[in-house]
Structure 1
Amino acid sequence: MKNYLVLIPARAGSQRLPEKNMKMLGDLPLIGHSINYARQAGFEHITVTTNDFEVAAYAKSKDLNVIHRPDELAGNQEPVISAIQHALENLPDDYYSIILLQPTNPLRPETLLREAIQIFEEENCESLMTVSRNVHKLGTISNNRFKPYNYKMGQRSQDLQPLYYENGLLYIFKTELVKQGKLLGEKNFPLIVEHPFAEIDIDTETDFKKAEMYLNFYKDIY
């Protein structure tokens, strides 16, 4: 396997779900699920970038490398690429590519990362992202009028044109791409994930309760 860095970004200051990265989901804090996932997949180079002292202490207790992110790179409007670039600037080693695991997507299919790495290398991708199919009839509202966007009125759901959304489960991208200020390259592979865990993306208390339900219900199935 080539030289990969697993990077877990976990900033402080969530407004909708305070201190969510250390909130207990099952028997682990939220960030612990991404840490365990990377380790169980066999990765040794795992770094947490954070401005949260509690998160930093937890990561260090797990013998992980921690990059202390400046607060100015951890605001609500700050793109994640700035945190990634800052981490690379503060790491002594060079890496072939980066695997990004967001704590807000704590539940992932067991074999997904290994499958993604295999595709990334065989297809010689610049980047890879996980996506899931949207199955909803979507539309816009203007002047109190609903206008269908991806279907025609009366059309069956099973006949919709396939559309997909980023589910956030994982991203892989070459380090050189990040240095150019990009996360997704021209040779970007969309890995389709059809799994209930792809529905979990935690931003609110409701999202968290849903994750708890999925963890309890699916843990003996997947």
Structure 2
Amino acid sequence: MKNKTIAIIPARGNSKRLPGKNRKLLGGIPLLAHSIIYAQQYDFIDAIYVTTDDEAIKQIALDYGAKVIDRPANISGDFEPTISAMKHVLASIEQDIENVVLLQPTNPLRPEDLLRDAFNLFQDKQLDSLFTVSRNCQKLGKIISNKFIPSNYDIGQRSQDLEPLYYENGLLYITKASVIQNNEIITKDAYPLEINHAFASVDIDTQEDFDYAEYLLENNNNK
């Protein structure tokens, strides 16, 4: 049996800044479950895998219909890159995989149909790697010797006249399995899919981030 396209959701249990964040209830369901449910909407996702080192997270994943790959302790540390867990998932699956969708549980809110639009683009352009970005319209700079040094603008310049800069928002990544096995998620020629949406500003690491996600989710549901 061949799973052409799978989703991988990495969810460690040991969160330092927001303990138990992947289990915290957002809109009445665990944070992790939002990404599982999102992936389940799409018929081109053949299987959803949660990679975790935590028994409680494992049970949540199973309860919501995902498959679970037990992550070894040696690739579950605070400084271990996501690519390690993704490679371990691919090595643990007997089927041949062509495409991998990475959904981070810390980005639980995603625009409707984003993944379908992104996947269609990924296929149409025959890409090896795609990731989502958003435009940053802030005036940024450094503080050196107690002096602010502008980085992307001149003092007095209007915000609307800034040169466009973009940031990796973490909403989703689509990558060929062969790229992951080559120790990459975002290739040098990866396609940056621009998404300017309030959900792109959500990346949960702190309680304040979580509260903001709750606010956006509540307001979106009320529309």
| TM-score tier after normalising by the smaller chain length | over 0.9
Partner in structure 2 of residue 113 of structure 1:
115
Partner in structure 2 of residue 10 of structure 1:
11
Partner in structure 1 of residue 221 of structure 2:
219
- Quick one: distance in 2 between partners of 1:154 and 1:10? 44
Alignment of 1:118-197 (within 5 A): 118-197=120-199
Letter of the structure 2 residue corresponding to residue 154 of structure 1:
G
- Quick one: distance in 2 between partners of 1:218 and 1:152? 37
- Quick one: distance in 2 between partners of 1:90 and 1:98? 14
Listed as ranges, the gaps of 5+ residues in structure 2 are none
Partner in structure 2 of residue 30 of structure 1:
31
Report the Cα offset of residue 179 of structure 1. Answer: 1.0
Report the Cα offset of residue 218 of structure 1. Answer: 1.8
Partner in structure 2 of residue 40 of structure 1:
41
**Percent identity, aligned pairs only?**
48
Residue 59 of structure 2 aligns to a residue whose secondary structure is helix
The answer to whether the 8 A contact 1:126-1:186 is kept is no
- Quick one: distance in 1 between partners of 2:155 and 2:188? 35
Report the Cα offset of residue 71 of structure 1. Answer: 1.6
Report the Cα offset of residue 68 of structure 1. Answer: 0.2
- Quick one: distance in 2 between partners of 1:71 and 1:133? 37
Question: In the alignment, which of 54, 58, 70 is matched to residue 52 of structure 1?
Answer: 54
C-alpha RMSD of the superposition = 1.1
Residue 54 of structure 1 aligns to a residue whose secondary structure is helix
Report the Cα offset of residue 219 of structure 1. Answer: 2.3
Deviation readout 1:181-215 (Å, 9 max, x if unpaired):
11112331100001110010000000000000000
- Quick one: distance in 2 between partners of 1:63 and 1:131? 29
Listed as ranges, the gaps of 5+ residues in structure 1 are none
Range moving further from structure 2, 154-163 or 59-68: 59-68
Q: TM-score, normalised by structure 1?
A: 0.96
Q: TM-score, normalised by structure 2?
A: 0.96
Residue 32 of structure 1 aligns to a residue whose secondary structure is helix
Report the Cα offset of residue 72 of structure 1. Answer: 1.7
